[in-house]
Structure 1
Amino acid sequence: MMKISLGFDLHRLAHGRKLKICGIEIPFEKGLLGHSDGDVGLHALIDAILSAAGLPDIGTLFPDNDPKYKDIDSLILLKKTLELIQEKNLKVSQVDFTFICDAPKLSPYYEKMKKLLSKVLKLDISEIRIKARSTEGLGWGGEKDAIACFCLVVLEKN
């Protein structure tokens, strides 16, 4: 039995913040603004996992008005999410990310992201896909003031 879901997240870029995507710190003059570390990749992944498992969304489980989640590393939230799906006898079997941003260039970090996600998800690296698309200078991405992510997840029974 497979369960499939799509997650999405979007965060504004701001000075004075570190840029973390899929748990990896990326050198850039801005970082993602959020109550937590603003990791759009992990947030989209977490929401997709929760949805596929029939659980409440990330904002319900880890609300942005709760001080205990202020500046939290999103890898901690992902690990808590994985514990929740393990209780339902589910595991992640495939993930596919699409990032939307004009800067920074993410492709140099794909392999590092995949290695970390493979370890955390206990998933073969070949089952993790990552790609990014530019807005070609249009809209919010063209202003280089935000990064968005779509993440498709496939869960299966343990």
Structure 2
Amino acid sequence: MSTAPFRVGTGVDVHAYAPEGSARVLMLGCLEWPGERGIEGHSDGDVAAHAACNALLSAAGLGDLGSVFGTDRPQMAGASGAQMLDHVRGLVEQAGYAVGNVAVQLVGARPRVGPRRQEMEAAMSQALGGASVSVSAATTDGLGFTGRGEGLAGIATALVFSGAGT
């Protein structure tokens, strides 16, 4: 493990939308989005939270989401993004780091993130023990699977620093 005082990690997560008419609820940024088409996934499919987890794990040198929450673990079925962020925060702290901040970029045509941006940031921050979280969004002008409305992607960057608990 590196003893660098600061470390940065990048994370990505992608999920397809559930079939039209599915009872699956959209969870995004640790929030439920009523009236929006849900996402397929072993857990809740929260691409914002999952990308943030991947970024934090990368920054702390702890692997990735699959190595921590693999789909072969039935106890993770339906796990919420908030539960996963909280668990990853604990792993980061056990490795001797604290979460500095996380920035998440959502890529997709919908839902419209702007009206709930602050609510998402607060919910994700709470799951990370109060760490700073920023959320932004982009469309792809109709290009690719996100532009065609087939799914959502999340890209995140995280900063961790040595001295967890200080």
- Is TM (by shorter chain) over 0.5? yes
Deviation at 1:122, TM superposition (A): 2.9
Structure 1 vs Structure 2 CA RMSD = 1.3
For residues 13 and 67 of structure 1, the distance between their equivalents in structure 2, rounded to whole angstroms, comes to 21
* Paired AA for residue 153 in structure 1: A
* Runs of 5+ unmatched residues, structure 2: none
Cross-structure match for 1:157: 162
Match of 2:104 among 92, 97, 102: 97
Cross-structure match for 1:142: 147
Q: TM-score, normalised by structure 2?
A: 0.88
Residue pairs, 1:58-137, within 5 angstroms:
58-123=65-130, 127-137=132-142
Identity between Structure 1 and Structure 2 (%) = 29
Q: TM-score, normalised by structure 1?
A: 0.92
Q: Which runs of 4+ in 1 moved over 3 A?
A: none
Query: Which whole-Å deviations, capped at 9, do the CAs of 1:4-31 have from their partners, x for residues lacking one?
Result: 0110000001132111111111123411
Q: 1:74 to 1:129 in 2, by over 3 A?
A: closer
Deviation at 1:69, TM superposition (A): 1.0
Deviation at 1:88, TM superposition (A): 1.8
Q: Secondary structure at the match of 2:17?
A: strand
Residues 93 and 123, structure 1, Cα contact 8 Å, conserved in 2: no
